[in-house]
Structure 1
Amino acid sequence: MATLQTIRSKGPLLVIVIGLALFAFIAGDAWKILQPHQGKQDVGEVNGKELSAQDFQKMVDEYSEVIKMTNGLNSLTDEQLTNIKDQVWQSYVNNQLIAAEAEKLGLTVTDAEIKAIIDQGTHPLLMQTPFRNPQTGAFDKDMLKKFLVDYANLNNSQMPAQYVEYYQKMGNLWNFIEKTLRESTLAEKYQNLISKSLISNPVSAEDAFKGRTEQSDLLVAGVPYTAISDSTIQVSDAEVKDLYNQKKEQFKQLVETRDIRYIDIKVVPSDADRKAVQEEVTEYSNQLANTTADYAAFVRTTGSAVSYSDVPVSKNVLPSDVAARLDSTAINEIYGPYYNQADDSYNAFKIIAKVTAPDSIQFRQIQVYAEDEAKTKTLADSIYTALKDGADFAELAKKYGQTGEATWVSARSWEGAELDAENSKFINALIDQPVKDITNLQIGQANLILQVMDKKANQNKYKVAIVKRPVEFSKETYNDAYNKFSQFVAQNTTIADMEKNAEENGYSLIPRTDFSSTEHYVGGVKSTREALKWVFAAKPGEVSPLYECGENDHLMVVALDKIHQAGYRDINSVADMLRTEIRRDKKAEQLMTQMKGFNSLAQVKAMNGAVSDTVKHVTFSAPAYISVARASEPVIGAYAAKTAVNQVSAPIKGNAGVYMIQVLQKDKTSETYDAKKEETTLSNMAARMSSQFINDLYQRANVVDERYLFF
């Protein structure tokens, strides 16, 4: 009662407190809503349609599985994953751009069209699937149909988990192929619509033929622009501004870029680190000599960069320095320790066995799995006995929900891969088992009834225990480099300080202009995503904190110089280029004025800084290369085509100088004019040019790419 009375007496205060708390809660949520990009989970946007990080990751995962499956890979490297992310993004953007245009035009791809493509079986995408005839290598639609029926009737509870997983992966692969077929067909339709509107005509065809086959031999004389000193040519700011306005569209950039400067320190091993690795490998080589079993465990304890494989492998999958020494090493002999400069490592190895083994094996199997180990063994023994007594392998396989079809497997699928004991046991069984024999092999919780049908390409293979220790820096070496660099970063907090003091501290301040977030790495160094995010959040003049990056072997600091927003580049960023062009044009005007009235090349040759040359086989369609000016000059081909033999041209303004030419002779190649062929060539050229339509669509779509915030 006392407690209730206390609450009643404090009632008004509690109402105020609770009210304030609710206001704070609501206001806090409102503030989150009002804050720009707060909790943002979108990697990009196309035509106003946002793509979430989750959906993008799903697409990346989907394509990654396709790449692994079609290339026989168990995992992907960082570079491969980065490549896949770029491909997925580019594909998504292109598909969105084309889909938007196709919808306006009423372009669609029907199920009937997809079926027709599959029935025809010649589309390049179909050749990336496993549904190919083993004899011809061609896409087999019947294999696909059989798989789709089996997949639709898949009973997860009755089939082994490995088979279920395989069917699901194959099903996902086909779904991806079918979706991509639909997208690529729509893109082809849209591009054909554009390219078919670009046609040739007989006049253009004849001009193109003449431009390619009519050629001239010339005498050329001219004065390079370099003959006139830049200091004699004045360029005003007004002239730069006028040229900028004329060429403004050329300075339009679609994405924001930034000018940065950075210091990248790669930590390297010290002499003491090298000596320590050498001593360790020497000790391991002594231990290897006395090791006679469980080589995998021993090699693992050495920290070797090469795992031990209990399966014999070809020489070409071993490190090249080891492979080169195999033939000069006896079985059970220790080679090493030795230093290999190519990968900066100390090494020792021991050949355990040398055998003759096939490079391709054809086999078939029945996987047996029951409720427990005892029942699995009983069932496997029963199947094995039946087969030994003459039962049909394929019929028995079908009885247990499997195909029993023979499959070829290449040694490439396991050589060089890290294999556990069970996989090694399986592969050794394939290698050692005689053709046509049947084996009952226990693998994990299951049994495999295995029959080898054929073997091909026998060659020498080896079991080798390798101790390969790359020379790596020690923790002490890394700490020394870190402490020194962190002190430098702490003492140099401005770009000016870094520029002034970097060199005397043994560092290089590297400039990088127009850095884009799509480059993924700062300075080409891995694991610099945090530095990349800093660059695109910083303000000009700021210096970043110290980043540990690379493969834990790089230290980096970044400074932001300038921001180039998407849109038109400001005049100051292109002023130097414009001044150079204006200066060149003024030099050209000055030289052409001096050449006015000239009617011979001798007059040109008499000018200060003049050069001359003979140029042969100049055509209208191919730019002439003037070696004395070290420049390609397309305009000379045009003048040569219109200048008569023995005539001298008017002054010609070129890329590298002003020239006059005299045509010595003209002739034609032996090619015969074929109007239809020429028109087809021009139409094909137009079709190739039409593929650039995607750039125009991109510019209008307000594409936003913020993947760097997430990946």
Structure 2
Amino acid sequence: MGIMGFLRERFGKIVAAIIGLALFAFIATEVVQYGKSYFNGSANDVGEVDGEKIKKDDFDKKVDQNTANFKQQSGQGAINPQITSYIQETTWSQTVSQLILQKEIDKLGLVVGVDETKDMISGPTPNQLILQNFGNQQTGQFDRSALNEFLGRLRVAKADDPIKATWANFVTQMIEGKKIEKYITLVKNGLYVNSLDAKDDYEAKNKLVNFKYVALDYASIPDNKITLTDDDYKSYYDEHKKQFKNQQELRSLAYVAFDASPSKDDSAAVKEQITKLIPEFKAATDDSLFVAVNAESKTPLIYQKKGQLDPQIDSLMLNASKGFTYGPYFSNGYYKVAKLVDSRFSPDSVKARHILISIQAEGSPEKAVAKADSLKKLIQSGKKTFAELAPLNSIDKGSAVKGGDLGTFARGSMIPVFEDAVFNGKKGDIKIVTSQYGVHLIEILDQKGSSKVVKVAVVDKPLEPSSKTKSAAYSKAQAFLGSLNKNNFDEEVKKAGLTKKTAEDLNGLASSAPGLDNIRDLVRWAFKADKGDFTDQVYEPGNEYVIAQLTEIKPKGVLSLEAVKKQIQPAVLNIAKAKQLAPKLQAATNGSSTIDQVAQKSNTQVTPVQNIVFANPIVPGAGQENKLIGAIFGSQPNKVSKVIEGDRGVYVYVVDSFLNPAPLNNALRQKEQIGQILLQRAEGGILEALKNKANVKDYRAKVL
């Protein structure tokens, strides 16, 4: 709940964030690396960097920790396969980045000394993570007294106190983050912008050109009028080969799906099942027990305000009388019946403090409650204050150093038992409640606002396909699978009247594709199969049965011409069209002294363009034309140009005039602006350059 367990809960966040803060700019554009030796790694390794193994157990622990952090920050108890894949990807990027940078740091001998470490923790300008985690919740400012209080308690803690180990690990990670920061700073300090750079940049952004042009568009020739040769494709491919470097192995599938979604009969059966519960639900005196026994979701009964309930019953329940029952209704894949258990007016927010007592440390729940009761009596008698007892007795160290203060919070911020205690009580109450965290001694410091809240019990049943529905769909899929051989997939799809779909360019860790969810098993098969193979079994991603054929393998490295032929076809077509159009426009140019004469001879029109800058090569109506604008800024005014083969057509132009900007008398500001952009690009480029140099092998698709 919220702030509870500062070191237990928030330190996980700190450790995960330390690398993330240092590497954020780098890993934002990371792409997973797939080595050619994909099938060579040990089942105990997820990859290696320059020969250093990344052990699966270590990687799994990091993934688990980052998953726990994500759940805590997002408030989600369960996460879908897409989020899981994202967390795995981020963890991989962090791990590889850290290993690569660590090797460079070791080569340079970068260190963080004892005095520097102390300064990061308690110096005049503490490390950013110290500032974040010892901040005042109300003001958001750094709370040095809270830091000093914690460090004092740390010094007197026993040697085997787990907090000491957690803190030591945090400091180590903070030091490693500082080393990375030093390395990045060293590289950045080597970057320099001179006055010529500033002048060129200034003119590129401010020098204007006015010109006229005539064009013959590639679109004027239908694609079906062009016959491309192998040489056409090869010529383009050889010239642009560097653009086709594949950073990771990718595989594509063709597949058919047999729908096993719930039928009308299935829907009617589930609706009838929950309808039969309504009389008993209305008569129930223990609604929590009824929900626990009969509901699928078993959602705890808590007070909720307007906007927190299911939209179908939100306004309805807020205006109903106690005992009102509504349903069945369908929502988010479930048939539901809702019953209003209670309604009341309740504070909008509460300010409270607590002392959290460990049941394990006390030996039993009864002993923990007894201790809480004794502390309560000390406070009520005036012998001790809550603020005095919290640092000495609470295992929630984050709030303990603040006298147990949890700040001000709204409904939904705390666990139900705690929330009920503080929102249903009144200012000044001191209460004792037990939760999964331990026994809480709570004092309600303040309550603000007042809104109507309701407690609604919901019994739900999921709408799922029946065994009959699933069996029928599976039988069709199995029959189709039995008809296949390596060469007749398309033929059998057509014969069965099915729709063939595609899932293209899947990486080895893909968990979904357009139209498909939960496909990890299918992807694992694909990365073990050969091109042309079809699945040896029926796969079940969701409410459908899928049979697929592996249609393409794109290995890591420069892709073959065959692999990119479809991708480059539009560009190759334009080049072929340019070969037909350029001579026509050149013929119109020959003997012409004005752009108007060129237009007349080529049976087209002159298009005037004004105020174009080199830094933004957009021609109104024609789009981005880098070659055209580049040529224009290297031309002389009033001279008809040669033919330029652009991206949208072929062009001939004449420059009317250049408008030079005011002289750049002080290049300092311009240099600073360029420098900032250079530094931002450098952060992403450093790791990219190191990764291109490093030997990174990725075995995750095989072992995860």
Please, what TM-score do these two structures have when normalized by structure 1? 0.81
Q: 1:468: how far off?
A: 4.2
Partner SS, residue 317 of structure 1:
coil
Q: 1:270: how far off?
A: 0.5
* CA–CA distance in structure 2, aligned partners of residues 128 and 412 of structure 1: 25
* CA–CA distance in structure 2, aligned partners of residues 437 and 366 of structure 1: 14
Does structure 1 residue 237 correspond to structure 2 residue 230? yes
| Most deviating of 147-156 and 98-107 | 147-156
Does structure 1 residue 365 correspond to structure 2 residue 368? no
* CA–CA distance in structure 2, aligned partners of residues 87 and 443 of structure 1: 34
Structure 2 unmatched ranges of 5 or more:
1-38
Instruction: Show structure 1 runs of 4+ deviating over 6 A.
Output: 442-446, 668-673
Query: 1:12-27 maps to which residues of 2 (within 5 A)?
Result: none
Query: Counterpart in 2 of 1:296?
Result: 288
Query: Counterpart in 1 of 2:470?
Result: 478
What is the aligned residue count?
Answer: 650
User: Whose Rg is larger?
Assistant: 1
Q: 1:396: how far off?
A: 4.4
Does structure 1 residue 356 correspond to structure 2 residue 337? no
Query: Counterpart in 2 of 1:593?
Result: 583
Query: Counterpart in 2 of 1:133?
Result: 136
* CA–CA distance in structure 2, aligned partners of residues 385 and 680 of structure 1: 65
Change in 2 beyond 3 A, CA 1:674/1:449: same
Change in 2 beyond 3 A, CA 1:306/1:378: closer
**Does structure 1 retain, via aligned residues, the 8 Å contact 2:195–2:671?**
yes
Does structure 1 residue 565 correspond to structure 2 residue 555? yes
Partner SS, residue 355 of structure 1:
strand
Change in 2 beyond 3 A, CA 1:138/1:324: same
Change in 2 beyond 3 A, CA 1:281/1:171: farther
Q: 1:386 aligns with which of 346, 367, 378?
A: 378
Query: Counterpart in 1 of 2:599?
Result: 605
| Most deviating of 216-225 and 381-390 | 381-390
Does structure 1 residue 46 correspond to structure 2 residue 49? yes
* CA–CA distance in structure 1, aligned partners of residues 436 and 50 of structure 2: 53
Query: Counterpart in 2 of 1:707?
Result: 700
Change in 2 beyond 3 A, CA 1:483/1:156: farther
Query: 1:106-255 maps to which residues of 2 (within 5 A)?
Result: 106-118=109-121, 119=123, 125-126=129-130, 129=133, 131-151=134-154, 153-154=156-157, 168=163, 172=166, 178-230=171-223, 235-238=228-231, 240-255=233-248
Query: 1:437-586 maps to which residues of 2 (within 5 A)?
Result: 437-441=429-433, 448-494=440-486, 496-521=487-512, 525-551=516-542, 553-576=543-566, 580-586=570-576
Amino acid at match of 2:444: V
Q: 2:613 aligns with which of 619, 631, 637?
A: 619
Partner SS, residue 136 of structure 2:
coil
**Does structure 2 retain, via aligned residues, the 8 Å contact 1:345–1:468?**
yes
**Does structure 2 retain, via aligned residues, the 8 Å contact 1:256–1:565?**
yes
**Does structure 2 retain, via aligned residues, the 8 Å contact 1:213–1:671?**
no
**Does structure 2 retain, via aligned residues, the 8 Å contact 1:258–1:514?**
yes
Change in 2 beyond 3 A, CA 1:670/1:458: farther
* CA–CA distance in structure 2, aligned partners of residues 109 and 524 of structure 1: 51
Change in 2 beyond 3 A, CA 1:275/1:84: same
**Does structure 2 retain, via aligned residues, the 8 Å contact 1:215–1:666?**
yes
**Does structure 2 retain, via aligned residues, the 8 Å contact 1:200–1:679?**
yes
CA deviations over 1:418-469 (Å, ceiling 9, x no partner): x6xxx53x43222222212323556699754432112234322210122344
Q: 1:59: how far off?
A: 1.8
Structure of greater relative contact order (alpha carbons < 8 Å, 6+ residues apart): 2
* Cα-Cα RMSD: 3.6
Partner SS, residue 629 of structure 2:
helix
CA deviations over 1:3-50 (Å, ceiling 9, x no partner): xxxxxxxxxxxxxxxxxxxxxxxxxxxxxxxxx859621111111111
Does structure 1 residue 319 correspond to structure 2 residue 310? yes
* CA–CA distance in structure 2, aligned partners of residues 441 and 653 of structure 1: 78
Amino acid at match of 2:454: Y
Change in 2 beyond 3 A, CA 1:218/1:492: same
Partner SS, residue 325 of structure 1:
helix
**Does structure 2 retain, via aligned residues, the 8 Å contact 1:202–1:679?**
yes
Q: 1:134: how far off?
A: 2.7
**Does structure 2 retain, via aligned residues, the 8 Å contact 1:215–1:618?**
yes
Partner SS, residue 488 of structure 2:
helix
Q: 1:89: how far off?
A: 0.6
* CA–CA distance in structure 1, aligned partners of residues 364 and 505 of structure 2: 64
